[in-house]
A and B are shown apart, each in its own frame.
Chain A
Amino acid sequence: MAKAAQANAKGASAKSASVKKSPAKKPARKRPVKAQPAPTKEELLGFYREMLLIRRFEEKSGQLYGMGLIGGFCHLYIGQEAVVAGVQANAQPQDSVITSYRDHGHMLACGMDPKGVMAELTGRAGGLSKGKGGSMHMFSREKNFYGGHGIVGAQVPLGTGLAFAHKYNNDGGVCYTYFGDGSVNQGQVYESFNMAQLWKLPVLYIIENNKYGMGTAVHRASSTTELYQRGSAHGIPGEQVDGMDVITVRDATAKALEYVRGGEGPYILEMLTYRYRGHSMSDPAKYRSKDEVSKVRSEQDPIDNLRQMILKSKAADETELKAIDGEIKTIVTEAADFAKASPEPDPAELYTDVLVEA
């Protein structure tokens, strides 16, 4: 066992996992793409606030898990914040979002209440699913957030179905369907790609390639590791994006959305990103080296880089950023306090919400 683990760790470090783009084949485009405007000061600070909220929220989740207040699975998004922040910056009110079980960041980026999310993690009545969903299963009609799905890859046909509904209702919406590198070998993903392209459905597929599906490196699970090309058999254009840079993510998404909203069908964005923490909380951490993790953290951290960008461009100074840090700390502390204080669900809730009364 120890031997196997060693071999894995060696394999992982031999194939460097730094978040660098491979020479990307540019997809053929049918329409000229507008250059994206430079981010405004408000936008930069908005990104900073949002990404920091996710980071601090997740750190707090990890802490509450360690204290036994959160049970079961708890998949943290630390390291990947720039992806959801950059993508959702482009969202219109009619759009919809669906993702996997690593979903806390997506819910916060969709504007869902941190208190409700945290109280769901602690399994309390004040949680967004009244304590009955847990970390992996939260939803919001109001924010068009369709979950939190625990079966790897299952959200891909579901998101394609949401896109089908956008087209059926002709509401101009796009479904942002997020999934990880671990799900790209699921058959249902390709069944979905086929139908989405066949019917020109308005769906943006966002592959969050964080290098490891659980403990298996991409190159150990996927016969081809250029995941943005996974739609090529269906004629779906794809692009590889530096998912550690929120502005790059924002711009790539804007371009992709122009294509999707133009009625051309689905588009794939492969976001190269990195998960600092384990797959879930109990992670042997034997499949990658500590050096690998700390190298990405120190050189490519999306929040540190954004902070530097903000300071360099003089969008804000240290004092202003520190004030934001304080605001976020307050929000997260309040969320944790709410999640601890909220009562457990009433036992009578056991039998509710199984069926809608016809």
Chain B
Amino acid sequence: MPIQILMPALSPTMTEGNLATWNVKEGDTVSAGDVIAEIETDKATMEVEAVDEGVLGKILVPAGSENVQVNSVIAMILEDGEDASALDGVDTSAPTPPTTDPAPIATDMPSEAEFATPAPAETPILSEPEYTGPVVNQTVREALRDAMAEEMRRDPGVFLMGEEVAEYQGAYKVSQGLLDEFGAERIIDTPITEYGFAGLGVGASFAGLKPIVEFMTFNFSMQAIDHIVNSAAKTLYMSGGQMGSSIVFRGPNGAAARVGAQHSQCFAAWYGQVPGLKVVSPWSGADAKGLLKAAIRDPNPVVVLENELLYGQSFDVPESDDYVIPIGKAKIERDGADVTITAFSRMVGVALDAAKLLAEEGINAEVINLRTIRPLDTATIVGSVKKTNRIVSVEEGWPQSGIGSEIAAKMMEHAFDYLDAPVTRITGEDVPMPYAANLEALTLPTPERVAAAAKAVCYA
């Protein structure tokens, strides 16, 4: 049976092209890899190589032919032992059916109705065991350090790398004392080279290690965002589940104080958009310890967005190696019936202060500490809104496509019938962070702004 040579496509969108030249003639012997013809479109030319060997029995489409359909037979090759008579009766007139027919998948596709609701719509309702053990009053900074130290004692594959984490004891002293306990092999000062060491960390995680990559601040993670998104978040999927990246990226996020535009930015929405990443953002000392420990134990890439202004604040923190907060579980910090206020990181404190102001006016606000940005605990928020029928979202980040925008969309999808007022967002102002003290103060959410928004949705 002679072998058919088909008109090839240069790209998936090409449907026809010109057969410019034949480099061989009928009767020539061809071997695999020989260039036998050239085809061209308006965009490109391509050499056609023989994939099989034999004798070129017949050229069906002569050189110079235009608008030759992709996948039509352009020539026939006679295999070993065949002669021209083998061509007799072989139908070469019609193009062979193209194999680009998308039909096979179409029959298996979910119906439109199935597409109407996004598949993994809501996060499962996670239970969080109540902690009743001893607590210690310590700063968020100490809680983060203890979380890392405990996990490093537990798993020899865990190591910390970043700028100034070792000998300097941490740019913000979060890694204080770790070099003494774990040595330079596991507490690693890096050069100032975020793209490089983030990629190096992801590579080490491919091999099964558990890197904690510290960014001195998350502003510098923009240098490394390619490895966080393209290398860490996508590899599990691209490998069909064979290998992924178990890694933690952590450091202070958002505005500090008077450090200007390039050092004051919230990345929750940026990383929160990426499938394959988990994103957490602790507020209290317990959050810091429990979420960082969970992040280190998690087999996926986890972004831990801390806050420099919280590092020095003290909280009661569980004194237990096993205190781990489930990722994906929000916490109701203050029960209330009149309005729901969601916040994360430092804004939880702002929301709680706003709740105090509201209480003075007889409004009982429920404050939800999101703790996890991705996967967002939609169930807890919806549960609260079913009770309060009103919601105000608070964040430091910019308004467009922010966490508040996401919450607003989720409420439309899952709590529309329960809303008695529009979802309201309190965000950082839509400007780069100014340096001047008075302008900076005008940029960030305050308890007064949050309280005013809550009153507005209560029509009070």
- In this assembly, does A13 line the interface, its C-beta being within 8 Å of a C-beta of chain B? no
The answer for the CA separation of A138 and B239 in the assembled complex, in Å, is 6
A355 touching B276, Cβ below 8 Å:
yes
- Residues of the A chain whose Cβ atoms lie less than 8 Å from the Cβ of B105: 344, 347
The answer for the CA separation of A347 and B201 in the assembled complex, in Å, is 33
- In this complex, how many residues of chain B approach chain A with their Cβ under 8 Å: the count is 72
B207 touching A195, Cβ below 8 Å:
no
B299 touching A165, Cβ below 8 Å:
no
A67 touching B195, Cβ below 8 Å:
no
- In this assembly, does A137 line the interface, its C-beta being within 8 Å of a C-beta of chain B? yes
Within the complex, the shortest CB–CB distance from A296 to chain B, in Å, comes to 13
- In this assembly, does A352 line the interface, its C-beta being within 8 Å of a C-beta of chain B? yes
The answer for the CA separation of A168 and B236 in the assembled complex, in Å, is 23
15 more contacts with CB within 8 A, not counting A188-B199, A194-B191, are A56-B32, A62-B51, A129-B238, A129-B239, A133-B240, A157-B199, A158-B202, A161-B203, A161-B206, A187-B195, A191-B196, A283-B44, A284-B45, A347-B108, A353-B240
Taking CB atoms and an 8 Å cut-off, the chain B residues in 242-257 that contact chain A are 242-244, 246
A67 touching B190, Cβ below 8 Å:
no
- In this assembly, does A285 line the interface, its C-beta being within 8 Å of a C-beta of chain B? yes
The answer for the CA separation of A51 and B233 in the assembled complex, in Å, is 34
- In this assembly, does B70 line the interface, its C-beta being within 8 Å of a C-beta of chain A? yes
Within the complex, the shortest CB–CB distance from A213 to chain B, in Å, comes to 18
User: Nearest A residue to B70 by beta-carbon distance?
Assistant: A68
Contacts A56-B32, A66-B9, A68-B9 given; does A355 touch B71 at CB 8 Å = no
Within the complex, the shortest CB–CB distance from B22 to chain A, in Å, comes to 15
**B239 interface neighbour in A62, A133, A278, Cβ under 8 Å:** A133
Taking CB atoms and an 8 Å cut-off, the chain A residues in 136-152 that contact chain B are 137-141, 146-151
The B contact surface, by secondary structure, is loop
**B243 interface neighbour in A71, A146, A165, A166, Cβ under 8 Å:** A146
Contacts A188-B195, A282-B10, A283-B44 given; does A354 touch B206 at CB 8 Å = no
Taking CB atoms and an 8 Å cut-off, the chain B residues in 192-242 that contact chain A are 193, 195-209, 226-227, 230-231, 235-242
* Stretch of B96-104, B163-171, B356-364, B394-402 on the interface side: B96-104
Taking CB atoms and an 8 Å cut-off, the chain A residues in 143-178 that contact chain B are 146-151, 154, 156-166, 168-169, 175
Contacts A98-B203, A355-B300 given; does A285 touch B71 at CB 8 Å = no
Taking CB atoms and an 8 Å cut-off, the chain B residues in 97-144 that contact chain A are 98-100, 104-105, 108-110, 119-120
B226 touching A154, Cβ below 8 Å:
yes
Pairs across A and B, CB under 8 Å, 13 listed: A78-B33, A138-B239, A139-B243, A157-B227, A161-B200, A164-B200, A192-B199, A281-B10, A282-B46, A283-B44, A347-B110, A354-B237, A356-B246
**B51 interface neighbour in A63, A71, A141, A350, Cβ under 8 Å:** A63
A161 touching B241, Cβ below 8 Å:
no
A65 touching B159, Cβ below 8 Å:
no
* B33-53 contact mask (Cβ, 8 Å, vs A): 1 or 0: 100000000011111110100
B11 touching A281, Cβ below 8 Å:
yes
- Residues of the B chain whose Cβ atoms lie less than 8 Å from the Cβ of A139: 235, 238-239, 242-243
Within the complex, the shortest CB–CB distance from B53 to chain A, in Å, comes to 9
- Residues of the B chain whose Cβ atoms lie less than 8 Å from the Cβ of A68: 9, 12, 70-71, 98-100
- In this assembly, does B327 line the interface, its C-beta being within 8 Å of a C-beta of chain A? yes
User: Nearest B residue to A196 by beta-carbon distance?
Assistant: B200
The answer for the CA separation of A243 and B205 in the assembled complex, in Å, is 32
The answer for the CA separation of A308 and B205 in the assembled complex, in Å, is 45
Taking CB atoms and an 8 Å cut-off, the chain A residues in 106-157 that contact chain B are 127-133, 137-141, 146-151, 154, 156-157
* A324-343 contact mask (Cβ, 8 Å, vs B): 1 or 0: 00000100000000001001
- In this assembly, does B298 line the interface, its C-beta being within 8 Å of a C-beta of chain A? yes
B9 touching A67, Cβ below 8 Å:
yes
- In this assembly, does B185 line the interface, its C-beta being within 8 Å of a C-beta of chain A? yes
B241 touching A352, Cβ below 8 Å:
yes
- Residues of the A chain whose Cβ atoms lie less than 8 Å from the Cβ of B208: 165
**A283 interface neighbour in B7, B46, B109, B238, Cβ under 8 Å:** B46
B276 touching A132, Cβ below 8 Å:
no
A194 touching B299, Cβ below 8 Å:
no
B8 touching A168, Cβ below 8 Å:
no
- In this assembly, does B275 line the interface, its C-beta being within 8 Å of a C-beta of chain A? yes
User: Nearest B residue to A294 by beta-carbon distance?
Assistant: B35
**A284 interface neighbour in B43, B198, B201, Cβ under 8 Å:** B43
B9 touching A65, Cβ below 8 Å:
yes
A158 touching B199, Cβ below 8 Å:
yes
- In this assembly, does B63 line the interface, its C-beta being within 8 Å of a C-beta of chain A? no
- In this assembly, does B68 line the interface, its C-beta being within 8 Å of a C-beta of chain A? no
The answer for the CA separation of A349 and B108 in the assembled complex, in Å, is 12
- In this assembly, does A346 line the interface, its C-beta being within 8 Å of a C-beta of chain B? yes
